[in-house]
Structure 1
């Protein structure tokens, strides 16, 4: 009997000890899941969008100077790199043969005009004489035909004189536009022709210039979506960063009506227009530009608070009222420095975990710690 009571006592003691052990284990597990994490709350802010794109300067007006007649260059009357005005004489082609052709055509015209006077008088006489049967009607008709033929010959010779005069004038090659003239590709004594491929020189009117820019089709779509009204009114400003890293003093406007998509790269060519009164921007010069493409109300979330799920969605982890955690899929537009520009998926009341993400899971109970003073900067940022 004593043995049975002793055995029962030991059994009860063992059960009691096991129960205490399980209770301690459960208490330990529960304590282990309570993990301290740092969180932030964010306010929406108006974020100005800026995009940096490289581009090339293009003169709006460019004239390649070519001869319209054959001949030998006798004179060059401009200084390379200088500013020339429309109508200035640039080259002179030896005019002797063209002068002779003009004078010959002029003499032929005068001869035909003198002959016309004679035939005109004869036609008038014959017209009167035929009324009195002094001459036959056939003779009168012949006189009239000769007169009309003489009129046509005079007109033909006038056209020959005009053509000869045009060719003579073309011996003086003139500037068709005002602008800065480039290097001369031909010297005095060179033989040139009207059908040649190479230009004698090039004039560029750079009072206003284009800047052709390349942008991906996706970025262009976003730009149009954010700036629908401003594009129509030409209100998207563009600034040029010069090679010395200074900002060009004149602001340009973005023109989107002239675009083409490259089938291979998916990039689009945009065009901006700039004033260039001092000629500081040179044709074909590479520059960097900054497009001020509007603004949007959005969140700027520190990148360390954002992770990717199994489907490569951007997510943040938030703290609920009972100190559990929940993940949310967010819409990320692009990076701004060390932050993500987020337009959807979170609210201003969300407590977003920024520290301790690697120590928790969906079952964790967390101990929240406010880290807004360390991570939240509500100053305006620029999209680049």
Structure 2
């Protein structure tokens, strides 16, 4: 019933446009008929544009954890490595000898403890001393095993390896910086946005519900193809100068196409689809950086109407989406001459069937 009422209203409006009292206008109508139409109304995901920079999600320095001579380097500078890949191997001879000695000491200490306990019982002072010897031997054994494991240094996560600072044959000590590693499988896209606008998004991030995680999109050139990431963090500290808060989204980069440090345009997706108005792109005029459309009042006089185009994730070829500023019942003049018709009364040309279909679609 509501759509039917709207449709009947459209017919009434169309009739009024064509039959309104000629004396109502102060100027005579321009003799040429001009095409007019209603804006389309559709459900769409509104996109909020910002500028951001890709940053590494993880960064670490690779350091030696034990003494030893480097005997092998497994990577080249700038190479991509996977988690668990070997990076360096130190000379294992000394570590292997130390481990064998520690294992033998532990074995002998255990044998001694068992023998003393068997002969004198566990409460005997000699047995207590033997237990202490076992604990000391166990500590040395664990340390030797740890040192042996550290003779090969592995990548802690997947990423891009930096410049090697120590060549094969170099003797290193614990804490010696060997290289650095930047994660590339996932990257962070950092940006700042108005605090008031980010409040709703902050709540969704804090809910930690993967299905409702806010989406951040990056377009590919001038196309309408997007790569999506998820908003992962919204800061709480408001910049006193800009009123913005910091935020970042996580993007998959398993194909290594995203380069850390590059800047890009990003689009924060509205949490839910909403109704937006669409006007023909050909009806939009740019004057001194401001966008306008031209509409008819009830007397068929052309009026200038400023508008604010918005971005939507859905593509509406040939149309521009608006963030309000225009009534869904406004008839738009779709003609290049529209700016020159402001203040004039015109003869409108309207496709009633097409416009009825639009109202019924809504």
Q: Does TM-score exceed 0.5, indicating one fold? A: yes
Cα distance change, pair 202–268 in 1 and its aligned pair in 2 (3 A): closer
Cα distance change, pair 82–213 in 1 and its aligned pair in 2 (3 A): closer
> Residues of 2 paired with 1:56 and 1:221: CA distance?
18
Partner of 1:89: 86
Establish whether residue 202 from structure 1 lines up as the match of residue 177 from structure 2. no
Is the partner of 1:273 in helix, strand or coil? strand
2:36–2:349: 8 Å Cα contact kept in structure 1? yes
RMSD of Structure 2 on Structure 1 (CA): 5.0
> Residues of 2 paired with 1:90 and 1:254: CA distance?
31
2:216–2:268: 8 Å Cα contact kept in structure 1? yes
Is the partner of 2:165 in helix, strand or coil? coil
Establish whether residue 270 from structure 1 lines up as the match of residue 248 from structure 2. yes
Q: Which runs of 5+ in 1 are unaligned?
A: 1-29, 128-140, 308-313, 361-365, 374-384
Aligned residues: 303
Establish whether residue 68 from structure 1 lines up as the match of residue 65 from structure 2. yes
Establish whether residue 42 from structure 1 lines up as the match of residue 38 from structure 2. yes
1:52–1:291: 8 Å Cα contact kept in structure 2? yes
- The one of 207, 231, 245 equivalent to 1:256 is 231
Is the partner of 1:201 in helix, strand or coil? strand
1:215–1:267: 8 Å Cα contact kept in structure 2? yes
> Residues of 2 paired with 1:58 and 1:291: CA distance?
18
- Report the CA distance between 1:339 and its aligned residue: 6.6
1:92–1:173: 8 Å Cα contact kept in structure 2? yes
> Residues of 1 paired with 2:223 and 2:51: CA distance?
14
- Report the CA distance between 1:203 and its aligned residue: 5.8
Deviations 1:110-137 (A, max 9, x none): 443343244224305xx9xxxxxxxxxx
> Residues of 1 paired with 2:262 and 2:302: CA distance?
55
Normalising by structure 1, report the TM-score: 0.58
1:206-221 correspondence to structure 2 within 5 Å: 206=185, 209-217=186-194, 220-221=197-198
Partner of 2:275: 296
Q: Which runs of 5+ in 2 are unaligned?
A: 1-22, 313-317, 352-362
Partner of 1:145: 125
Establish whether residue 108 from structure 1 lines up as the match of residue 105 from structure 2. yes
Normalising by structure 2, report the TM-score: 0.61
1:1-384 correspondence to structure 2 within 5 Å: 34=27, 36=29, 40-46=36-42, 48=44, 49-50=46-47, 53-58=50-55, 60=57, 64-82=61-79, 84-124=81-121, 144-179=124-159, 181-196=161-176, 198-202=177-181, 204=183, 206=185, 209-217=186-194, 220-221=197-198, 233-234=212-213, 236=215, 238-241=217-220, 245=221, 252-260=227-235, 263=239, 264-265=241-242, 266=244, 268-274=246-252, 276=254, 278-289=255-266, 294=273, 296-300=275-279, 302=283, 318-321=296-299, 332=308, 334=310, 341-350=322-331, 354-356=338-340, 360=343, 367-370=345-348
